[in-house]
Structure 1
Amino acid sequence: MADEFAKGLGLLTGAGLIWMVLAGWYKTPSFSGAQLTGAPPSDLSMLGEAALILTESMFWLAIFGAALFWVGVPLGRQLYAGIGSE
């Protein structure tokens, strides 16, 4: 059980860190306005567009990765144990 917690925490912190860095670079227009959630600039290069896609991907990986290892895997093991004992 601790192994799943560590994997979920690793995904949450790793992907969350990458999301925060990229969102700080691309979605923080000023420090007096919206930070990390502002509108990205419209005149980005192909690398900037790829970074925005990676930003969104890391956000959802952090959310669903942690949920998978903290809820999904233990639930699957419980279901498998219940089916295997019958």
Structure 2
Amino acid sequence: MADEFAKGLGLLTGAGLIWMVLAGWYKTPSFEGAQLTGSPPGELSMLGELAIVFLESMFWLAIFGALLFWVGVPLGRELYAKVEGE
């Protein structure tokens, strides 16, 4: 169980750090307004557009990756043990 917790925590912190860095670059228009949640600039190059896609994918990887290892894997093991025990 500690292994799944470490994997989920690693995904949450690693993907969350990447999300925070990219959101700071692309979604923080000023320090007085919305930070990390503002809208991205309109005129982006192809690399900027790829960074926005990567930013959004890191957000969802952090959320669903942690849920997978903290809830999904233990639940799957419990269900498998229950089916094997019958």
Q: For this structure pair, what is the TM-score category when the shorter chain's length is used for normalisation?
A: over 0.9
Question: CA–CA distance in 2 between the matches of 1:64 and 1:39?
Answer: 23
Say whether 1:44 aligns with 2:61. no
Q: Note the residue ranges of structure 2 that are not aligned, 5 or more in a row.
A: none
Number of residue pairs the alignment of both structures matches: 86
Following TM superposition, the consecutive aligned residue runs of length 4 or more in structure 1 with deviations greater than 3 angstroms are none
Q: Which amino acid aligns with 2:53?
A: I
Q: Which runs of 5+ in 1 are unaligned?
A: none
Identity value in percent:
83
- Which residue is equivalent to 1:54? 54
Q: Which residue of 2 aligns with 1:27?
A: 27
Using the size of structure 1 for normalisation, the TM-score is 1.00
SS at match of 1:28: coil
Distance 2:21 2:61 in 1: 15
> Counterpart of 2:32 in 1: which secondary structure?
coil
Match of 1:77? 77
